[in-house]
Amino acid sequence: MKTSGTIIIVGGGVIGLSIAYHLRRDGHDGPLLVIERDPTYARASSSLAMGGVRQQFSSAVNIQLARYGRRFYSEFDDAMRVPGHQPRVDFRSRGYLFLVDEASSERFESRVERQRALGAKVERLDLDMLTDRLPGVRLDDIRFGVFGADDGYLEPREVLSGFRTAAAALGAEFVQAEVTDLLRRSDRIVGVELTDGTRLSGDAVVNAAGPFAARLGAMAGIQLPVQPVRQHLFRCALPTRWPYRFPVLVDPTGVHWRHDDPVTESDPDRLVVACTRLDEPPGENFECDFSRWESDFRPPLVRRVPALDSADLVLVEGWAGLYAMTPDHNPLLGEHPDAPGFFLANGFSGHGLMIAPAVGKVMSELIRTGRSDTVDVSTLDPGRFERHELVHDEALI
């Protein structure tokens, strides 16, 4: 499309904002509108995320997207600085460490070889190395570990505000509204209609609506295979200041945690604990089920770290956000074949924040030029489910 054409992005979370930022950085000089219904981002997936950033996937496309994101986040604070705003994502490169038991050892051995071949920086740690690295962690059922030293975590809300202020400084316009319909001319999507009846015309409309992507797709007469699925996180206070900093530690049960570092000497040392429930029913459910702390989260945590099996391990808070899930747990990226002018950036299934920088870059390329050069995302195109060409990546948690 012409660099002066109007682009409308529906959804002002981290994906939509990254697309807006990269479009401007890549030379789009026409009108650029970001429509977000809730500027407080109270229920935005990127606001409620754990904040992990890792390269440890098993598919080439995800590893490349994640590597781009890792490099981008390491320089984020400087790159997104604008007058009056200095983001502090505080990227902590403490690594992701997967603990591998007997049942999963063969699968992880193959995964490590593949990850290395695809350029991910991973290290296989034997039991002696794990014991030295993780004093106080129970390893009697563990065969080895897989460690990504370049991985880590950051502050999700700082990513969100950093992208937003930088995109605004580059000329992106923000509209607080809800889209109620998409406008068509013949078979092409040519704009949006808002709640108050306002119609906005555009040369391209981008669906960056997160867990609500299918609702927007239906307005184009398209059934998108994206469902909102509730995910829980809990924050707990440790009984004492932990003597070292955990990496993002992934237990074979799927429970994983990271430090929520004290800001001052008087602040408690805390952990953020996550676990994906595979049988969670789809739906827009933000209610936190606190019973899951005792049933699903706390037992694997204290079994792995016996010193935490204490009444002094205090649950501070819990919350629920939404994953936007696809059948193969990988995103839809690109122009929809049945609706020219309608671009999808949806279905990130829990890893949207970590690959948001790369998604912004490749979507900018796809919208402006029709191809993605930075990372080839053709395997993630929106028509793959109708062709039964699912993307397999076993390293999703």
Phi, psi of 355 (to 5 degrees): -110, 5
Residue (of 9, 7, 6, 10) closest to 215 by Cα position: 10
Q: How would you classify the pairing of strands 256-260 and 270-275?
A: antiparallel
Q: Give the pair of three-digit tokens for residue 306.
A: 């016996």
Instruction: Say yes or no to pLDDT of 244 above 70.
Output: yes
Q: What is the mean pLDDT of residues 213-229?
A: 96
Separation between Cα atoms, residue 377 and residue 370, nearest integer Å: 12
3-state SS of the chain? Answer: CCCCCCEEEECCCHHHHHHHHHHHHCCCCCCEEEEECCCCCCCCCCCCCCCEECCCCCCHHHHHHHHHHHHHHHCHHHHCCECCECCCCCCECCCEEEEEEHHHHHHHHHHHHHHHHCCCCCEEECHHHHHHHCCCCCCCCEEEEEEECCCEECCHHHHHHHHHHHHHHCCCEEEECCEEEEEEECCEEEEEEECCCCEEECCEEEECCHHHHHHHHHHCCCCCCCEEEEEEEEEEECCCCCCCCCCEEECCCCCEEEEECCCCCCCCCEEEEEECCCCCCECCCCCCCCHHHHHHHHHHHHHHCHHHCCCCCEEEEEEEEEEEECCCCCCEEEECCCCCCEEEEECCCCCHHHHHHHHHHHHHHHHHHCCCCCCCCHHHCCCCCCCCCCCCCCCCC
Instruction: Say yes or no to pLDDT of 200 above 90.
Output: yes
Tell me what pLDDT residue 2 has. 55
Residue (of 268, 248, 257) closest to 297 by Cα position: 257
Residue (of 157, 22, 153, 151) closest to 79 by Cα position: 22
Other CB atoms within 10 Å distance of the CB of residue 143: 19
Q: What is the mean pLDDT of residues 254-278?
A: 90
Q: What is the mean pLDDT of residues 244-265?
A: 93
* Class (C level, CATH) for 7-85+156-226+327-380: alpha beta
Q: What is the mean pLDDT of residues 211-232?
A: 96
Q: How would you classify the pairing of strands 96-101 and 248-250?
A: parallel
3-state SS of 143-211? Answer: EEEEEECCCEECCHHHHHHHHHHHHHHCCCEEEECCEEEEEEECCEEEEEEECCCCEEECCEEEECCHH
pLDDT digits 0-9 by tens, 132-182: 999 999 999 999 999 999 999 999 999 999 999 999 999 999 999 999 999
Residue 265's pLDDT band (cuts 50, 70, 90) = confident
Separation between Cα atoms, residue 218 and residue 254, nearest integer Å: 34
Residue 313's pLDDT band (cuts 50, 70, 90) = confident
Instruction: Say yes or no to pLDDT of 77 above 90.
Output: yes
Instruction: Say yes or no to pLDDT of 268 above 90.
Output: no
pLDDT digits 0-9 by tens, 352-376: 999 999 999 999 999 999 999 999 9
Write the CB contacts of 208 (distance below 8 Å, at least 6 apart in sequence): 9, 10, 11, 12, 13, 15, 16, 19, 345, 346
Tell me what pLDDT residue 395 has. 78
Q: Give the pair of three-digit tokens for residue 88.
A: 């502090």
Q: What is the mean pLDDT of residues 209-225?
A: 96
Instruction: Say yes or no to pLDDT of 201 above 80.
Output: yes
Residue ranges matching CATH 3.50.50.60 in the chain: 7-85+156-226+327-380
- Computed on alpha carbons and rounded to an integer, the radius of gyration of the chain in Å comes to 21
Instruction: Say yes or no to pLDDT of 300 above 80.
Output: yes
pLDDT digits 0-9 by tens, 96-109: 999 999 999 999 99
Phi, psi of 104 (to 5 degrees): -110, 5
Other CB atoms within 10 Å distance of the CB of residue 295: 9
Instruction: Say yes or no to pLDDT of 59 above 90.
Output: yes
Q: What is the mean pLDDT of residues 203-224?
A: 96
Tell me what pLDDT residue 1 has. 56
Report which residue type is found at 35.
Answer: I
CA angle 94, 95, 97 (to 5 degrees): 130
Residue 50's pLDDT band (cuts 50, 70, 90) = very high
Separation between Cα atoms, residue 174 and residue 33, nearest integer Å: 6
Q: Give the pair of three-digit tokens for residue 314.
A: 């205090």
- The correct answer on CATH 3.30.390.50 for the domain covering 96-150+228-325 is no
Residue ranges matching CATH 3.30.9.10 in the chain: 96-150+228-325
